[in-house]
Amino acid sequence: MSSVHEPQARVAPGDAGELAGWLIPDWEVKPDSVSAVPHLASFASKIRECERVCQSPYSEIAHDIQDALTLRRLQQMVNTTMLNPLWRDRLTEAGVTGAPATFEEWQRIPLSDKDTQRDFFMGDRPGMVVPLGHGGFEIVASGGTSGGRPLEIVYSLRELRDTYEIAGHFMGTYQLAAYLRGADPKWLYTTLADYQMWSSGTMVGGVLQNVPGVNYIGAGPVTAGVLEHMFSYPGPKALMGITAGIAILAELGAGMSREARDSFRVALYGSGVLAQRKRAELQAIYPNLVILSYFAATQAETIGLQLRAESPYLASVPGLHLVEIVDERGRWVDEGEEGELVVTRLHAHEAPLLRLKLGDRMIRRPRLEGPGLKTQQFEFAGRTGDILHLADSQYSAARAYDALREELRTATAVDLDEVAHEVQFVNHREGRTITLVASVDDVPALTYRMDTTLGPYGLQSVFVNAVPRALSLFNQGEANPLSIEKTGYRFQLKFVPKASPEIERTAVGKVPLVRDRG
């Protein structure tokens, strides 16, 4: 071995902090100048060294060692950001004057949001620790599909190379290997668009290109003919796209040969939820298909991966990001509790962004233990903006939909998940009316069935009984059917044809669950 100071290969639990300190020594954990930052060893190199010492893949190393190295890296990140005047002022105002000694102290660092990102990394980009003039950066942008305002963020190229490799290797090992089997060539496609600086195609493509043993094609949006051509290649196939892009594959593949359809093994849909109706349509066309969630954002290209169809839990990639599920004070929620998703990219030296809220709600789930993979798990619970405002109270739209669906199924034997292609709540606040718009195949038949089964007042009764079960985590006041009635809100259910313009879509085809009107 190269040094007498090197830790032993078998690391005892109590030695985790010592190992982390050896991997990122004091002179690295606190760089003395901006000019020193580009010369810091990459965090990926620390992960590889940790693997060598522990004689194990990093994703299978004990949690206490992973946690110790993550905390040491967070200390380094805070010290690095302190070299930037804007970050230093931001942290000092929050009472943070040095690197956190514990994860408890880390939670005192203020949360960042899209406005923080815009102020720090657009225009003159004053939040960069290493100025843009140093070179070696990539600027990526989001069209602002939720808020409508564009966003930019800056990454060093070396950071992206490392994160793509780590995430790609994890996908290949723990997600895709079980489904892409055999000796034939294996294919991995994406239909994500890559235009007008909308960066998901670039960033996710970077990950997919680094999945070992597959052949990658960045197809972009496809027609039925192009999809059939791609699926005619011999070998098992996986495809990643936005949720709407995955949903349409059932329609595009309807005329495809059976052999080509049988070769489609994994569909990875982007952030959000894929309706049960769409899942059923896809699996009817592609009999061997497994549908999994690939949860990502412009600011973090691989946040959580659904590893098995039997469980909705998303697994984080060890060593890639610090994923936090927090309450309104920025403190970690307990297992089983719902909170807001906060992400910190662990590989950013030159342009770090601490504790970024991505606008999603998650439920914290138990971490994976035992032999093999050891990582954090969480479950998607909806967008932060998916809130129904009734008078002074806020209700989770996702929970409201689940409750309404259950009530309607009991009362009418109609399951919205089975009949609806898309759903959207429209809240007319001034008129105190909430309309659930559902696109379906047979509008007259379903409308008649609802009217005759429920009568003139039955739908309102369903609404007031369901909504109290949908209180938002951050507003847990008392609610019951009477209190809902007192708000003066009326509820409507409206069926519209498939692809109706009455369901509002973003510029990239996403369907927000809630739309507020005056």
At 456-476, the pLDDT tens digits run 778 888 887 777 776 644 444
Q: Which helix (H) or strand (E) holds 326?
A: strand 321-326
What is the C-alpha to C-alpha distance for residues 87 and 129, in angstroms, rounded to an integer?
A: 9
User: Alpha helices, DSSP H only, in 371-440?
Assistant: 397-412, 416-419
Amino acid identity for residue 304 in this structure:
G
Residues in a beta bridge with 271 = none
Cβ-based neighbours of 114, under 8 Å, separated by 6 or more: 144, 147, 149, 151, 357, 359
What is the C-alpha to C-alpha distance for residues 361 and 397, in angstroms, rounded to an integer?
A: 12
What digits encode the pLDDT tens for the residues 111-132?
A: 999 889 999 999 999 999 999 9
pLDDT band at 145 (very low <50, low <70, confident <90, very high): very low
Q: Give whichever of 66-70, 295-299, 447-451 has the largest mean pLDDT.
A: 66-70
**Other residues' Cβ atoms within 10 Å of the Cβ of residue 141:** 16
**8 A C-beta contact, residue 207 and residue 164:** yes
For the four alpha carbons of 66, 169, 290 and 206, in that order, the dihedral sign comes to: positive
**By CB neighbour count within 10 A (0-12 exposed, 13-18 middle, 19+ buried), where does 104 fall?**
exposed
25 vs 481, residue with greater confidence: 25
Q: What percent of the chain has pLDDT over 90?
A: 58
Q: What percent of the chain has pLDDT over 70?
A: 88
Quick one: average pLDDT of 221-234? 94
What digits encode the pLDDT tens for the residues 262-308?
A: 999 999 998 677 888 889 999 999 999 999 999 987 667 799 999 99
Quick one: average pLDDT of 328-335? 95
Compute the half-sphere exposure of residue 218: CA atoms within 13 Å on the CB side of its CA.
16
What digits encode the pLDDT tens for the residues 6-42?
A: 554 445 445 899 999 999 999 999 999 999 999 999 9
Q: CA dihedral defined by 210, 215, 219, 223, rounded to 10 degrees?
A: -150
